[in-house]
Structure 1
């Protein structure tokens, strides 16, 4: 891939901090890919943020006995702090900002003015006692597609959209004992079926860029008529909809992703020194941006299906994103991470105990790329000690023996070996074969090989050279070790050319944070 790379991890809802389940999936992967892209000379932007408009903010605040505004402010601080603690270097971090609201409303107003929305009567669960329509996080029930229990809006199990009125046995999440009835309301919708053919063709052309589970889900979704997608909701929490025919309604949070992505991209570019003519400049047709999403499987519909339809509805104004790297759920002791049940390990708390390089390595090795994987503290200690800390410290000690004896000669054989190391590791960083699992596995294998090497005067330069190249390949994951050990983190993907090396004293890895 050449040109500008715009990397995006969808913003988590501002109703809590980030646990390892969040970090092991999209956030670490996006950070590693961004660091790798820069190491091989690409312009790369990384953006995320928090989303305060979902109803889950209201339901969580109610459960915790606080106000939504206080919860959003605390969650925003916590998420930013956790990302920093884990070394996930965000360029543009979006939050509760007037500029974001302006971007969302402008995006929707262009579609509304072009006649792309329709006024439609839809059925919603309704609470007679509170006088409130129940959508998304306000209501739970069975998914009409896969039957799994969950909230309306999106199904975490099958990733299909769930119209609130289609839930099986709906019940209020905040007041589960209250009776619920179905009531009609007029909302604005995007007629998704008009775009199904183009969505199907777009993803058919790029199916090789999707992991199998996403490819299967997308194929299933576009194999049948797509339901109309509600753009507005008859509730009060969210961005007010600027349309007179639905006065008092708000914009559906699941209709925000493309406008948010544009704003997130612009913010990221500006933080890295760019001057843009408009918030959507990087997305315009022919702008030369390659947009890459790292997201959980359950976020497929709003970003890949409904989001693509909204871009298509702008009649050629925007290029369509085609690169979506999904992940499955990361579990804790073989059960899904759950904030509400207190079944979680918080990233910032763990980083206060364990060096973040060890956490990043272990999360990479166990990232839930194709199926659910499991975290345990015992495995973190055992795996990082045996596969990373102990072998690295022995290798580092051998390099130190040759400090101040150089420069040492590097043979053609060593340059060829180093080229193979680079090829194997970077193959796992490229999008076509991106895999944190394989990257961590290859790094551990190569470290083990170096650990078995007892260099003498004749091959000391080769040994130090290959350690240097392995560190460069490990730098997107082992960020602190690489920062301490290397003058830069560039990866010579065209092949190493050094004929000699002056060894540098190597830092050691610790098992406990200082």
Structure 2
């Protein structure tokens, strides 16, 4: 089955962002990948008049919370609380338009438990005795964020369970040279324990068919990883772990164990999507929006380092539920985003938070630069000098020249004016819409190309305005009419990224927020004075008329 063409696909869309681990705040490396990509996509779908639910929520059960809390000398629950506040603050500050940020509450936990109870009752899990790293000094098993070593597939340093470099799993005793992440001097032994697993090999045929159906529409690194993993025997997936932190596993065979935190994320998405729907005025039960009869399409944005879980293990778990739930149609991954060509590192103080940057730079230039440099296909880097240069020379200065030329012409006009739009002007606006639509929609969705198209159109329209400058509306009515129509089109089409410019334009009556078919097929326009853009946080987009 081929996916519907985007122009013909008006099904409601469920946009999922990854669930951030509440073991600290958010830096630009987090935002520049799945959160900004999901936000821009959701905003564009809303502008096209489609039903959208964009949601996420924290992943409190992760062992990374425990490891970070111990290094900081605080309780894990307290770290979750303070980090969740920082995460929500960062998402709001940069303008990530989630419809609902699902809390980690009793309904969340009940949704996760019900999801796994159904699979347990259907006999999908198997008991398995395995050897797992064990720390004699503390009497605890080490998994996931509590242990690191060398990946048995690519030899890169990685944490337990999954390698962020090659995205292959390393379950149980497979990690090479294992050591504690809290104290690397603590070298674990191996101890036998019995857990529940999902036999992934039983889903090989379904997984292969699913990926053959969709892989031609996904980014190549994800496709390569899936093919590589499927070329080997599929490892049994741990469902439970003998840990003290996490959601208690509701199974009689594994008393005292917890659920594998990584596996909460699909039922978590079912819960947060229902929570978000309620914020929009529609009450649903958790999981209802994932039923086939809802006719919803799911678009999932995530970092490549998590792709194994979402592309393979979560798909296998959904398949284990039979035809109960739909599956994501689009899975868009991103690579790592670096800071000045070096990986973000909180421990080395090589980090820049969203809040720190927005205290100095206006939000729209930050969003534009992050979109332009987002790590879609390979690692990219944030450069403060690069941000300043791009924002000043390619965004703010040419846009403001354009806006000021229109303001000057409007100020010199006598009385109310209506300007004609030529066939060529309408054709230009239609071409802009088609080009932006190509980059905003699947399967070609690209933050990089959307941002670059915004900058190229600003440069083009600024040149047109310069050519008209000094001539009034009465001298070049069609020229000004065509320019104003295209400026309105550009504001509308850049609105998913330049959110503050769009808000100021709406307030000034220059943009209604909707990109309906035929939006720019008009024969005349009234003059419009666009807002100015600023580089600094102290002076956000304002109208030239109010300066």
State the distance in 1 between where 2:152 and 2:394 align: 45
Q: 2:399 aligns with which of 365, 375, 392?
A: 392
Of 86-95 and 326-335, the range deviating more from structure 2: 86-95
- Over the aligned positions, Cα root-mean-square deviation in angstroms equals 1.2
C-alpha displacement of 1:351:
1.2
TM-score (norm 2): 0.92
Corresponding residue of 2:4: none
What does residue range 48-63 of structure 1 map to in structure 2 within 5 Å? 48-63=56-71
Instruction: After superposition, give the CA deviation of every residue in 1:357-409 in whole Å (9 maximum; x if it has no partner).
Output: 01000001000000000111111001110110000000111221343652211
Q: Which runs of 5+ in 1 are unaligned?
A: none
State the distance in 2 between where 1:179 and 1:438 align: 47
State the distance in 1 between where 2:517 and 2:358 align: 32
2:87 is the counterpart of 1:79:
yes
State the distance in 1 between where 2:196 and 2:446 align: 40
State the distance in 2 between where 1:207 and 1:321 align: 12
Q: Which runs of 5+ in 2 are unaligned?
A: 1-8, 539-547
Q: 2:530 aligns with which of 506, 509, 513?
A: 506
Corresponding residue of 1:322: 329
What does residue range 439-454 of structure 1 map to in structure 2 within 5 Å? 439-453=450-464, 454=467
Q: What count of residue pairs does the alignment treat as equivalent?
A: 513
C-alpha displacement of 1:285:
2.3
C-alpha displacement of 1:505:
2.3
SS of equivalent residue, structure 1 residue 166: coil
Corresponding residue of 2:484: 464
State the distance in 1 between where 2:303 and 2:74 align: 28
Of 237-246 and 217-226, the range deviating more from structure 2: 217-226
C-alpha displacement of 1:115:
0.4
Maintained 8 Å contact 1:361/1:440: yes
State the distance in 2 between where 1:504 and 1:247 align: 68
Q: 2:381 aligns with which of 374, 377, 389?
A: 374
C-alpha displacement of 1:250:
0.2
| Structure-2 change in CA distance of 1:269 and 1:394 (3 Å) | same
C-alpha displacement of 1:308:
0.7
State the distance in 2 between where 1:122 and 1:131 align: 17
What does residue range 47-126 of structure 1 map to in structure 2 within 5 Å? 47-126=55-134
2:271 is the counterpart of 1:263:
yes
2:145 is the counterpart of 1:137:
yes
What does residue range 79-478 of structure 1 map to in structure 2 within 5 Å? 79-276=87-284, 278-403=285-410, 405-453=416-464, 454-455=467-468, 456=471, 457=473, 458=476, 459-478=479-498
C-alpha displacement of 1:256:
1.0
Instruction: After superposition, give the CA deviation of every residue in 1:210-236 in whole Å (9 maximum; x if it has no partner).
Output: 101001111111222211100000111
Maintained 8 Å contact 2:124/2:320: yes
Q: 1:483 aligns with which of 464, 481, 503?
A: 503
| Structure-2 change in CA distance of 1:162 and 1:95 (3 Å) | farther
State the distance in 2 between where 1:72 and 1:258 align: 20
SS of equivalent residue, structure 2 residue 326: coil
Maintained 8 Å contact 2:178/2:187: no
Maintained 8 Å contact 2:19/2:265: no
State the distance in 2 between where 1:238 and 1:257 align: 13
Maintained 8 Å contact 1:52/1:95: no
SS of equivalent residue, structure 1 residue 504: coil
State the distance in 2 between where 1:210 and 1:494 align: 30
SS of equivalent residue, structure 1 residue 505: coil
SS of equivalent residue, structure 1 residue 184: strand
State the distance in 1 between where 2:401 and 2:20 align: 40
TM-score (norm 1): 0.98
